[in-house]
Amino acid sequence: MGLRKLNLGRPALPRRSKAQENDLICVTGNWSFLGTWIVKVLLQQGYHVKSTLPHGQEDLRLLKSLPEANGKLQFAEVDLLDYGSLSDLFVGCVGVFHVPAPNYDINGTRDYPVELINTEVSGVLNIVEACASIPTVRKLVLTSCLSSILWDRQYYLSGAILDERNWSDLEFCRKQKMWAALSKTQSERAAWALARDRGMDLIVMNPATVVGPRHLRGCTNSRMLDQSGIFAYVHVDDLAAAHVLAFEVDEAAGRYICFEKLLSKADILEAAREMYPNHPIDKRLESFNPCVLSNEKLKGLGMSFGQGILEAEA
């Protein structure tokens, strides 16, 4: 009889509920490659998936080509401002993943159309309300952004570590015309208020800059670095996996900051030189000091990261 190894000093991981035979998940707001990746991971985990149509034909072809999609993936068109159509869409689902219009720049770009703020807030509220009206829906996972956490100058002045307890200052975002950050913050706050009122189990992912096979943004965006001092990234594979993990872990609750690595000044300069060897390094890249950000809460669910920023485009 062999001896069982004891796992000393390492806390037990939370219990994770795997997909049952006919579990149906709905993925809405599938306008970005993140939505496509979440659908892919759900199918690979054994779920049946009902998805809104991807924005691009390439993503649609990708999903249809997956071996797991045969008989387990269906597409639907829905208006996020039509509560009735959402309620119909969620019938029979055990969970919903909502991926709103992406905000890849975690610092809240000024070119975000201000008129879209109310539309995004209304769409998120309709999602929460519709989920709460369907008895089979046990959890809603909403994708927000780090921009709903970063924008309060007192954090930087205090030198505190930023975590899920922090919120962006709405008035500061308005004054600086950071409409994307304002939209994400207002939408998330509204979702939490309504979810608590309706007794809906809500999980929110707050990802950093997302990188992937077809997407790499912000690597040498010095304006981004000047404004927040934050340069963190997460690969889309890891971010999609984190969404599904948060859905499956029974103890998951609240918000989760999702990033693989918070880059140091040396990391950023090295990455910039490797990716752009023929371009001079912006002097502002050499002068910023990054802030401190924590992803310990997500790691506590059992999340581990695997993709590197320099391999993302390989």
Amino acid found at 114? V
Three-state SS sequence of the chain: CCCCCCCCCCCCCCCECCCCCCCEEEEECCCCHHHHHHHHHHHHCCCEEEEECCCCHHHHHHHHHCHHHCCCEEEECCCCCCHHHHHHHHCCCCEEEECCCCCCCCCCCCCCCCCHHHHHHHHHHHHHHHHHHCCCCCEEEEECCCHHHHCCHHHHHHCCCECCCCCCCHHHHHHCCCHHHHHHHHHHHHHHHHHHHHCCCEEEEEECEEEECCECCCCCCHHHHHHHCCCEEEEHHHHHHHHHHHHHECCCCEEEEECCEECCHHHHHHHHHHHCCCCCCCHHHHCCCCCCECCHHHHCCCCCCCCCHHHCCC
CA distance 245 to 41: 10
Active site residue 265: no
What is the edge-to-edge ordering of all strands in the sheet holding 202-207?
Answer: 73-76, 48-52, 24-28, 95-98, 139-143, 202-207, 254-258
Residue 164: count other Cβ atoms within 10 Å of its Cβ. 17
Residue of 184, 261, 265, 283 with catalytic role: 184
Residues carrying an active site annotation: 184
